[in-house]
Structure 1
Amino acid sequence: MKTTFSISAIALAASLAASTTAMAQDLPPVQASSDWFKAGETTVEEIIARAQNTGRAKNVILMIADGNGIGTNYATRLYVGQQLGKLGEEHVLPYETNGFYNGIVKTYNINAQTPDSAPTAGSMNTGVKQRFNMINVGGTGIHNECDTVAGNELTTFAEIVAAEGKSVGIVTTARLTHATPAAVFAKTANRNWEDSVPEGCTAQKDIASQLVDGLKSGLIDIALGGGSRYFVPKGAVTPNGGKGHRPDGKDLLADVEAAGIQYASNRAEFDALDLSRPIFGMWTDSHTSYEADRPAEEPSLVDMTKKAIDFLSQNEDGYYLEIEAGRVDHANHAGNFARTAADGMMWTEAVAMADEMTDDKDTLIIVTADHEHAIAFNGYCGRGTPIQGLCYNVSKTEIAHADDLALADDGKPYSVISYANGSGSILKKGEGENDYSGSRPEVTQEEAMDLDYLQQALVPMASETHSGEDVAVYAKGPWAHLVDGTLEQNVIFHIMNYAVRNGE
């Protein structure tokens, strides 16, 4: 919803409009009448007229598209625009409008130049930078050393606001025990201790057990995503038809239902949920399906977002909701941009849904990513080149690209997107242990546009890595203007925490 502008801001905008119009009269017609020139004037007017909201935030929604750094976001923008029939470059994503303030976020971990999702999400949930592969453990906590957890547990934003009467929700397309959703509630020396901890470890429980404890204690009121295998005894059948993984033989889903918490394992059960009782839902044994492959029985990210906001909005004291598009990250790791883009498009629709369902007056929405990937954009491609396909040359006379493909020095076309490393490497393993050689295969536009196509990469790796590049952060609502400049990632927590305590 739009924030009402102040009279002084409107007056200032009117003054600016008059001054820019006067200036335009002195410019050549080809410039003053340009749509680009007029749009530039309008943008400046909108920025000047923007009012700072200093009210108190009743609700906070932290939306994290995992791995959606500035490069991935750029590619998603083009993809979404092209799906809508545009050239793509001119498209504006829901959080890229003038209604949102924005800044740049530094994502490194305490001990890592290129970050991991666990401590990046943890920093946003606690206000403290953390160590690689750990969640919400600070001080002298050491990765994989259980006995360093005690005394180093960090209090999360969810714990703070829940103690003050707010509801808490988690939505993700990953496993609910995965790094980013777990950062809402878990404290662990190893992000991979999802259903077990090492023998003799008494300082913490596994992440699935911590989630169930959070649901039973009332810390978490709604949790929707994937990962049922970590809540079911090893070998037992999960509600989704797979096999459980828990080595301790515990049936945590039975514990949840015995505590009076609703459980949903498919779309029909999801649609039938009673909004008067706490909710726990998982549609898959592991991560939810990629959006490009999602079957009808799985709720989408937009579906889950709507359900969570409908449920949480019943609390007059407000709520905190973390929403993660986890599979944007996974498709990037696979070097498969087509699936990255489809999940990214659904992500943008979830942001639009959250914005539509809430009021700027009392709801702070922060949209960001935890890190970027080793993604790159090749060549001088013409406007409207399909972002997931091969690069077309720039047209000399038209706005849209030329009809001929750009060629590299080897005489072959190349994709717009490539990765610095990953399973799509052009280097193939030879007979020796470290023997890699090869050259780029020739690819057609049809092959490059296929859903399963892996963008070409350089360094051979089974899974493409993260990047240490900065990510963007966007915000609207109470105190959103605090999102400004280049920020350390942990500052996001402090903006959320300030917004719920200050203002009228």
Structure 2
Amino acid sequence: MKAAILALLLMLPAAAQAADSATNPQFTAARAALNNALNRQPPPRRARNVILFIGDGMGINSVTAGRILAGQTRGRDGASYQLSFETLPYSGLSKTYSADKLVTDSSNGISAIMTGVKTINAATGVDDSVTGKDCPSALKGRIPTLAEQAARAGLATGVVTTSGITDATPAGAYGHTTFRGWRADADLPPEAPAAGCIDLARQLVEAPEAIRLDVAFGGDLNNFLPSGTGEGRRKDGLDLTATWLGYDHARLVRDAAGLAALDTRTPGPVLGLFAGGDLPSAADRPDTVPGLAAMTATAIDLLSQDPDGYVLLVESAAIDKWHHQNNAYRALTEVDELSKAVQVAMERTDPRDTLIIVTADHSHGLVLTAGSGRDEPVLGLVRYHGELQTDGNGRPRTTLSYATGPSGPKEGTASAIPDQATVLAKDYRQPALTYMTSAQHAGEDVPVYARGPDSDLLTGTFESNYIYQVMAHALDLDARLQDPAVRLDSGDQEHTDGRQ
């Protein structure tokens, strides 16, 4: 019987026979990926450098939609496109909840990664014993950051961000506070300075030399200058840029031209403040403001001069800031900006001595829904080969939407029925299910991508504070800090007058 069936199959015309999977491009691409994985060599166990990239608010849907937009922008198939960090060989999932809430904010999000301890929302550089907006508890609960420990062990340290340099994520490298909003002295309640707390701008600039950052690039110039100057908002009269320039060989840059002109072979700390507040989105950025990739490249070149190695934190902040506004165009454009910065880091470093990690502090409530063909723009209406795929009410709908945010339905107003041109505009806000003045973070696990020493330890599902352990292990920090040559000078742990 089997012989008869085989003979019958052989008599069928070629068109009726099964396709040859070995010649299918999808099959061959997956086979090539398998071969690459089989030939992958285990990473080494010690790193000279660590570069941590944070896509603020970049959950799985942001990566997926960002990948599609990046590919489509380049005239490619967006679904199969790869962002630079998606090519890193190891990946896992990070659980981001905080000590007090199911869904974290950026302060605890980065603090857990940079200190190894989860704290409460809005706090950073402190443990979970603290009380929000309470200065004394911050002084008691202070925990050293990875950057501070690395600096004490002799490594260079730096922060790059497209937000203000005193915002939550960059502050995770150097700040210790129970309230992320204490960015300049004008933000402090009277009882805070009376109890010994200082603002984040002062914490950055006035940190003891043993733990002070070597590179800090971002915005927030206003928080460093006194009020009455036309730019500043400090009430204490301090010009912190002048304080910075008082350090040996220190430099200050204010625009893209200044950044490009830096001699990266010259030693000395560099502070770059490129905007009064946050840097503008890549979609709106003038030539005077450097992009994330340019800042990352310069920071790596500067920090690489240290023979002992370095720790660098890089944040693509505007992913989160535009998700809060339900503006998917700008948020996803910033995912691509992060990808470009990671590519720069990959090209400038050796995977044998540099651990690169790309992750997020938390997610956002962005949703990518079904219906559109792969040839349709991800930012557009749900269409299949140009034909609208309407909702249950027969109205057009968008491929991307949000759970919450300012584009949610307000009481007494009817939602507009969009057209394709409207939803593709860069100022369009995708619809949200629930109205809120600012979209809320989401609590699902976020992706982690890695290459370099100890990168294979970042697989599976783990707590966000575990990432700290991997970075510290890769740098062998415990052994370095126990070295008799590493001394804790007076005032290293805190300011000499006991301030935070």
TM > 0.5: yes
State the distance in 1 between where 2:247 and 2:346 align. Answer: 33
| Equivalences, count | 455
1:225 corresponds, among 218, 223, 226, to 218
2:466 partner amino acid: V
Say if 2:271 is the partner of 1:280.
yes
2:285 partner amino acid: R
Is contact 2:376-2:386 (8 Å) kept? no
Gaps of 5+ in 1: 1-26, 238-242, 394-401, 429-435
State the distance in 1 between where 2:207 and 2:244 align. Answer: 10
Say if 2:106 is the partner of 1:117.
yes
1:198 maps to 189
State the distance in 1 between where 2:30 and 2:435 align. Answer: 44
- Report the Cα offset of residue 120 of structure 1: 0.6
Q: 1:139 to 1:113 in 2, by over 3 A?
A: closer
State the distance in 2 between where 1:139 and 1:44 align. Answer: 43
Is contact 2:202-2:240 (8 Å) kept? yes
Is contact 1:89-1:384 (8 Å) kept? no
**Partner deviation per Cα, 1:250-297 (whole Å, 9 max, x = no partner):** 111111112242111112222222331210011100000111000000
- Report the Cα offset of residue 45 of structure 1: 1.9
Is contact 1:389-1:445 (8 Å) kept? yes
Say if 2:417 is the partner of 1:424.
no
- Report the Cα offset of residue 222 of structure 1: 0.6
1:356 maps to 347
Is contact 1:53-1:361 (8 Å) kept? yes
- Report the Cα offset of residue 215 of structure 1: 7.7
- Report the Cα offset of residue 220 of structure 1: 0.5
- Report the Cα offset of residue 344 of structure 1: 1.5
State the distance in 2 between where 1:56 and 1:154 align. Answer: 24
1:306 maps to 297
**Partner deviation per Cα, 1:129-164 (whole Å, 9 max, x = no partner):** 111110111142111111111221001111111111
1:72 corresponds, among 62, 65, 71, to 62
2:24 maps to 34
1:447 corresponds, among 410, 413, 422, to 422
When normalised by structure 2's length, the TM-score is: 0.88
When normalised by structure 1's length, the TM-score is: 0.88
**Partner deviation per Cα, 1:157-183 (whole Å, 9 max, x = no partner):** 111111111000100000000000000
State the distance in 2 between where 1:48 and 1:474 align. Answer: 18
1:259 maps to 247
- Report the Cα offset of residue 216 of structure 1: 5.2
**Partner deviation per Cα, 1:292-343 (whole Å, 9 max, x = no partner):** 0000000110110010001001111000000000011101001101111222
State the distance in 2 between where 1:454 and 1:318 align. Answer: 43
Q: How does 1:378-457 map to 2 (within 5 A)?
A: 378-393=369-384, 402-425=385-408, 427-428=409-410, 436-457=411-432
Say if 2:301 is the partner of 1:326.
no
Paired residue secondary structure (1:291): coil
2:53 maps to 63
2:199 partner amino acid: D
Paired residue secondary structure (2:226): coil
- Report the Cα offset of residue 380 of structure 1: 1.8
Hey, which bits of structure 1, 4+ residues long, moved more than 6 A? none
Paired residue secondary structure (2:403): strand
Is contact 2:120-2:128 (8 Å) kept? no
2:495 maps to none
2:131 maps to 142
- Report the Cα offset of residue 218 of structure 1: 5.4
- Report the Cα offset of residue 445 of structure 1: 0.6
1:366 maps to 357
Identity of aligned residues (%): 35
C-alpha root-mean-square deviation of aligned residues, in Å?
1.6
1:9 maps to none
1:73 partner amino acid: V
2:80 maps to 90
